[in-house]
């Protein structure tokens, strides 16, 4: 049984003037020249616009997001190092399409190859890194699919590290957004490469194909892709003030179109929505009575930072309610669910998150347990 404690989240006002912000209708997302698209807030995960987000498409060079992600994981796990030398195989050297122009038999540092993969979209760099980590590109594809499953990418299957066309190599706009969130969140130092506009290797200067990097200085990534079957694709991310959005546009008919469509999606999201951090993972939201415990109170909070994305101008209209277990008994483990916090806007449930114990509370002495039993009888 739970008791409900209502409290209005009248939080710090972000807007000048007085009175409640008027509710304004949000227009439909822009019409785009794309097979599918997806717009999501990075922090809250709220979907702001979508069209066929789970449709299978060839991801082309957007595939390299997963390749780079696995390189970063190998570095983080200590399996390889940025200054480690990679010997370029003939297969890597012979790769067609976009290249960073490494030479067969030469040794190249992992960091140089990672930059060539991300900035120049080098197929040769992708294969060289895949072979270095897994022994072969096909074995590396197995790693890619395993990681896709761990991330919850349910409409994705990889057969290579580059995005080279194959009927069994596919992904979706939603899955690509999921992967992009992981890239940005887990490896911010490596993510900084994605905003670099150019890279010179072997005296060959090449430019990043993401034209948004020149048009919008709030854009700091992410990756383009193109094949005849896939069309022109672009996953982009931008941060304006404290809000970051991720857009995925797949199957446009030109480079110009994918750029304009991505810009339109980002502008739409920033224009009509805002994101706020409501609670911090370490923040104590409430203390509650705990029975039979070595202490009488337990601190309650949330297990992670909680963000919410809402229509712009509606922050002060949020209502929050907490539902806490009526009778909490020791022992209680840190992180154990003991209730929920619900956030509503105009009676619509916007967010529901678990309330958890902030610390372990063990059982009290025999005397404490006996006294608490008596107290509960007369409660």
Confidence of residue 379 (pLDDT cuts 50, 70, 90): confident
96 an active-site residue?
no
pLDDT at 87: 98
Whether the per-residue pLDDT at 3 is higher than 80: the answer is no
Could you give the dihedral angle defined by the CA atoms of residues 117, 120, 124 and 128, in that order, rounded to the nearest 10 degrees? -20
Determine how many CB atoms are found less than 10 A away from the CB of residue 172.
23
User: Beta 328-329 vs 286-291: how paired, if at all?
Assistant: parallel
Whether the per-residue pLDDT at 24 is higher than 90: the answer is no
Whether the per-residue pLDDT at 10 is higher than 80: the answer is no
| Greater pLDDT, 242 or 11 | 242
24 an active-site residue?
no
- Cβ partners under 8 Å of residue 373, min gap 6: 292
Determine how many CB atoms are found less than 10 A away from the CB of residue 175.
25
The encoded tokens of residue 247 equal 């857009």
Mean pLDDT of 126-146: 98
Q: Return the domain boundaries, the chain.
A: 36-275, 280-377
In angstroms, rounded to a whole number, what is the distance separating the alpha carbons of residues 342 and 339?
10
The whole model's pTM is what?
A: 0.89
pLDDT at 13: 36
Helices (H), ranges, the chain: 64-76, 90-94, 110-118, 123-134, 137-151, 173-186, 188-191, 212-215, 255-272, 366-377
Q: How far is the CA of 236 from the CAs of 42, 84, 246, in angstroms? A: 12, 30, 6
The pLDDT tens digits for 299-358 are 999 999 999 999 999 999 999 999 999 999 999 999 999 999 999 999 999 999 999 999
Q: Write out the DSSP string of 58-76.
A: --GGGGHHHHHHHHHHHHH
In angstroms, rounded to a whole number, what is the distance separating the alpha carbons of residues 48 and 29?
8
Please say whether the beta carbons of 26 and 274 come within 8 A.
Answer: no
Pick the CATH number of 280-377 from 3.40.50.1000, 2.40.50.140, 3.20.20.70, 2.60.410.10: 2.60.410.10
| Greater pLDDT, 13 or 268 | 268
Q: Which of 36, 89, 98, 121 is catalytic?
A: 121
pLDDT at 20: 40
In angstroms, rounded to a whole number, what is the distance separating the alpha carbons of residues 124 and 93?
6
Q: Which of 36, 44, 64, 247 is catalytic?
A: 64
pLDDT at 372: 84
89 an active-site residue?
no
Given the structure tokens 């990681």, which residue do they identify? 147
Spatial CA neighbour of 113 closest among 78, 158, 162: 162
Instruction: Give the CATH number of domain 36-275.
Output: 3.40.710.10
The pLDDT tens digits for 256-311 are 999 999 999 999 999 999 999 999 998 999 999 999 999 999 999 999 999 999 99
pLDDT at 378: 83
Mean pLDDT of 358-367: 94
- Mean confidence (pLDDT) of the chain: 92
The pLDDT tens digits for 36-48 are 999 999 999 999 9
pLDDT at 22: 53
In angstroms, rounded to a whole number, what is the distance separating the alpha carbons of residues 116 and 125?
6
In angstroms, rounded to a whole number, what is the distance separating the alpha carbons of residues 177 and 72?
18
Whether the per-residue pLDDT at 11 is higher than 70: the answer is no
Please say whether the beta carbons of 282 and 301 come within 8 A.
Answer: yes
Please say whether the beta carbons of 231 and 33 come within 8 A.
Answer: no
């Amino acid at each position: 049984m739970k008791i409900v404690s209502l409290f209005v989240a009248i939080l710090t006002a972000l807007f000048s003037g007085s009175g409640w912000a008027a509710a304004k209708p949000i227009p439909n997302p822009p019409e785009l020249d794309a097979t599918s698209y997806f717009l999501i807030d990075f922090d809250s995960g709220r979907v702001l616009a979508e069209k066929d987000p789970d449709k299978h498409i060839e991801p082309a060079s957007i595939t390299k997001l997963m390749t780079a992600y696995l390189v970063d994981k190998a570095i983080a796990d200590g399996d390889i190092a940025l200054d480690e030398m990679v010997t370029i195989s003939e297969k890597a050297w012979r790769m067609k399409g976009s290249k960073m122009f490494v030479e067969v038999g030469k040794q190249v540092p992992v960091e140089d190859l990672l930059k060539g993969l991300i900035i120049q979209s080098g197929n040769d760099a992708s294969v060289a890194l895949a072979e270095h980590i897994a022994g072969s590109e096909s074995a590396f594809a197995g790693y890619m699919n395993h990681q896709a499953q761990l991330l919850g990418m349910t409409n994705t299957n990889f057969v290579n590290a580059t995005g080279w066309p194959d009927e069994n190599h596919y992904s979706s706009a939603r899955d690509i957004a999921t992967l992009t969130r992981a890239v940005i969140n887990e490896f911010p130092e490596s993510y900084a490469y994605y905003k670099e506009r150019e890279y010179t290797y072997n005296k060959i200067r090449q430019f990043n194909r993401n034209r948004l990097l020149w048009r919008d200085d709030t854009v700091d990534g992410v990756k383009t892709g193109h094949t005849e079957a896939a069309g022109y694709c672009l996953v982009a991310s931008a941060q304006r003030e404290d809000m970051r959005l991720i857009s995925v546009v797949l199957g446009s008919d030109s480079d110009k179109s994918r750029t304009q469509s991505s810009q339109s999606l980002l502008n739409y999201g920033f224009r009509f929505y805002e994101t706020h951090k409501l609670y911090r993972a370490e923040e104590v939201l409430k203390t509650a009575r705990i029975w039979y415990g070595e202490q009488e109170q337990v601190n309650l909070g949330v297990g992670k930072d909680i963000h919410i994305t809402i229509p712009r101008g509606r922050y002060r209209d949020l209502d929050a309610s907490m539902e806490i277990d009526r009778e909490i008994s020791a022992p209680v483990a840190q992180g154990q669910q003991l209730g929920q916090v619900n956030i509503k806007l105009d009676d619509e449930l916007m967010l529901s998150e678990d309330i958890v114990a902030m610390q372990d509370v063990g059982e009290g002495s025999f005397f404490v347990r006996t006294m608490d039993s008596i107290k509960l009888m007369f409660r």
